Amino acid sequence: MISSGRRRFWIATHEEWIRPSLKSEFFSYMGDIFRNSNCKLVCFTNKRSNQKQNIQYIPLAQSGRLWKEAHAVLTFASPSTSMKGVHSKSLLHGIPVITDDEGDHGYYVNHLYTGYIVDLRKWRENLVSAVEMMVKEPSVWLTMRANAKRMGKVYWGNWDEEV
């Protein structure tokens, strides 16, 4: 379990940003580690899903506004799925990214500078470490946020393409 004390902390993802082979186990695990905390995973989807404790499923139509308010964005898509648009747009908005190191997923994310790159062989342990670090050390999260925004401005300026 991860505790954020009184501070609310939420991570945004999308049903297509999690690879099919991990999806069921991933959402179950996230519900378990966020149980009894102020942490929440918000998943944007068009599918009707059962709400689980600390996992909130939100219609895609609301994603455009809400994902920009996330404390972090999480993607574990299949290696053949490019995350360039999602990661670059997130960084431009100063949102740290938690992702894996397959495909182009880790290309724009600098480990411990603008986000956290997870070794998929140990995804559970790495994911807990990433979230705990951001939640328990707000200064680390704030630094990642500032670094992400700075890097985004340098590389993409005022890019406003939809994610």
Question: Who wins on pLDDT, 96 or 15?
Answer: 96
Domain 9-156 in CATH 3.40.50.920? The answer is no
Burial grade of 21 (CB within 10 A; 0-12, 13-18, 19 or more):
exposed
pLDDT in tens, 94-139: 999 999 999 999 988 999 999 999 999 999 999 999 999 998 888 9
Contacts of 137 (CB under 8 A, 6+ apart): none
Query: Taking the domains of the chain in order of start, what are their residue ranges?
Result: 9-156
